[in-house]
Amino acid sequence: MTLPIRNVAIIAHVDHGKTTLVDALLKQSGIFREGEEVPDCVMDSNDLERERGITILSKNTAVHYKDILINIVDTPGHADFGGEVERVLGMVDGCILIVDANEGPMPQTRFVLKKALEKGLRPIVVVNKIDRPQADPYGAVDKVLDLFIELGADDDQCEFPYLFASGLQGYAKADLKDEGVDVQPLFESILRHVPPPVGDVSKPLQLQVTTLDYSDYLGRIVIGKIHNGVIKAGQQAVLVTESGEIVKTKISKLMGFEGLQRVDLEEAFAGNIVAVAGFANANIGETITCPNEPQALPLIKVDEPTLQMTFSVNDSPFAGQEGDYVTSRQLRDRLMRELETNVALRVDETDSPDKFLVSGRGELHLGILIETMRREGYEFQVSQPQVIYREVKGQPCEPYEVLALDIPEEAVGGCIERLGQRKGEMQNMHVSGNGRTQLEFVIPARGLIGFRGEFMRLTRGDGIMNHSFLDYRPISGDVETRRNGVIIAFEEGVATFYSLKNGEDRGVFFITPGTRVYKGMIVGEHNRPQDLDLNVCKTKQLTNHRSATGDELVQLQAPAEMSLERALEYIGPEELVEVTPESVRLRKVTKKLVRR
C-alpha cells in the first residue's frame, strides 16, 4: 500500500536560502487564508534566528498537494548544529539540497550532504538565487556533482534531479529557458523523486523520538516519525529508554502538523510525523512502542562535541547586580534543562560546585546557548574555549576543520600568512574574475579560536569565512594566536574621558567614558605583547586658570566593540567573559599587577 505521505528535509549551507524557499512553498500551498499577514522567514521562530538570519533548531511543517501530505523539515545549515541535522534525517525519506547559484557548495553543504548520503537519501538539488548577478547555475550543478563523487555517493545518488529557483521571487523551474511562475515544479519533483515512507500499519507501534518540545499545559512533547503500527490518542504505550528500561504511560494528546499549526488527531499511521504528550522523561533517540510487544529502534548516534568551556558562578566585584539567576543551583538546573533538547551538548560537573564543564560542537553552538541564557536573566562567567583531545589508536589527536574563505585579492597574502602561523595548510586556491579569491585550508580547530576578529581586520569586513569539522588527526605543534597583551583597569570606578584620551597611544579601548569598571577588568588591547595596568578613572586636576585651548573640541578614538562572540574568541587562557543580561565584560582570573 502506497501511503499518501512524503517526508522531506531541506538541507543547505548557511545563507543559501533554505528558509526563504520554505516560505514560498508555504505561501503557495494555500495554508494562509486570504488577507492573512504572512511574516518573512516564518520557520525562524525564535528571536536569535531572526536576528542572525540562521536556522538553529530544526522545525516541522506540513502542506497538502494533490491529496498528498508533504511533511517538510527545515534543518540548520551550520555545522555547529549538526546534532539537529543528524536526528531529523532519520525522520525523512528524501531531501532537498539547496545550493547558491553563485557560491556553489560550501564547507557546511558538505557536512549536511554527507549525513544525508550516509542515510541513503537521494537528494533533489535546487540551485537557488539564480536571479542574482554573476550567478552560474550550471557551474553550481557541476560542483555539486563533484562533491557527490568526492563524498562516495552511489550511481543512483549521482543521477540527482535538479531545479533552478529563486526563493525570494517564489519560483522554481526545470530549465533555465523556462519562465519562472511558481514553485509547482518543486512540488512535482518531491512527488516524483521522494519515495513514500516505508512502514507497516499491521506491525506493533514503533515511534522514535527525534525532537523535544515543552508546553506549560501538556509538559514535555515528543516529536517523531511512526516507523510501524498505529498510534491513538488515549492509548496505553511504553517508552524504551536508552538504558533498556521500559516505562509504562498513556498518550494524553496526539497532534499532527498542518502548515505552521499543530492539530489534534484521534489516530495516526506508520510513515507520519506526529507530536505526542504524556512522556515526561522521554529523551532523543528513545522508542515509544506497544506495551504487549516492546521493540526498540536503534538509537540515534550524534557526532561528539569538539569544543569545551567552563561555565561558573559570577564572582566579579559587580556580581549579582544585573542578573535574576545568579546561584550555582540555578546555573546547574538551566544547563541540565538544556541537555533535554540539545543532543550535541554535554555538561559535566567539576570538583567545584560553582563550575561546570560544558562541551559543544563549536563556538557558535556554545555562543548561542550563552546568549539564550543571558536573555533569560542568567548571570555567570565563561572561560576560553578549549578543544577536546582524543586518543585514536593509542595516539593523542585533536579535531581538524575544513576552512573556506572568500576574500578580496589584496587580503590573500595576509590571510595565508596568519593561517600558516596557526598551522593551517592550504588545499585549494581559486581566483575569480571579480577581484575575489577563494581559499580552502585544513586547520586544527584550536587554530581557529580567535581568528574571526583578526580575519575581519585583514579583509576590512569584506571577507566570508566558513568552516566545518573534518576529522581527528595527530596533534600539531604550538599554535600562535593572539599577539598583543591587554589593558587592565587598575581600580574600581567610572572611566573618564581624560584618562581614556591620555591612554589612547597605549592601545585600543573596549569601553567608553562613563563605563563602570573594576580592578582586574580588561578595558582594551595593548600595543605590545605585555599586559598593561592603567588607571582609566583618573580625572583632570581642576585649577582656577582657564586654558587657551580648553574650549577646543577633542575627540576620542572609536572603541573596539566587544560582542559576545568577539569576546569568546578574544579571551586568553587566564581570562574570563562575564555575562549578564545587560553587559558582556572581559576580566582576568588572577592578576599580577604590572605598574607602568
Residues flagged as binding site for GTP: 15-20, 128-131
Sorted by sequence, the CB contacts under 8 Å of residue 330 that are 6+ apart come out as: 378
SS3 16: coil
CB atoms within 10 A of CB 427: 12
* Bind-site residues: 15-20, 128-131
DSSP letter at 279? -
Contact between 429 and 439 (Cβ < 8 Å): yes
* Cα–Cα distance measured from residue 536 to residue 522, given in angstroms and rounded to the nearest whole number: 11
Could you tell me the CA-to-CA distances from 245 to 221, 239, 340 in Å, in that order?
A: 20, 8, 18
SS3 96: strand
9: β partners = 73, 95
Q: State how beta strands 521-526 and 507-509 pair.
A: antiparallel
* Cα–Cα distance measured from residue 148 to residue 171, given in angstroms and rounded to the nearest whole number: 26
100: β partners = 104, 128
SS3 407: strand
Give the cell for residue 270.
506508520
CB atoms within 10 A of CB 307: 24
SS3 278: coil
DSSP letter at 593? -
- Phi, psi angles (nearest 5°) of residue 267: -155, 160
* Residue 471, burial from CB neighbour count under 10 angstroms (0-12, 13-18, 19+): exposed
* Cα–Cα distance measured from residue 59 to residue 84, given in angstroms and rounded to the nearest whole number: 10
- Phi, psi angles (nearest 5°) of residue 569: -75, -30
Residue among 509, 403, 415, 401 nearest 462 (CA): 415
* Cα–Cα distance measured from residue 368 to residue 568, given in angstroms and rounded to the nearest whole number: 12
* CA of residue 350 relative to chain centroid, distance: 26
SS3 155: helix
Could you tell me the CA-to-CA distances from 466 to 178, 187, 200, 334, 484 in Å, in that order?
A: 34, 31, 42, 30, 25
Contact between 471 and 303 (Cβ < 8 Å): no
- Looking up cell 510487544 gives 293
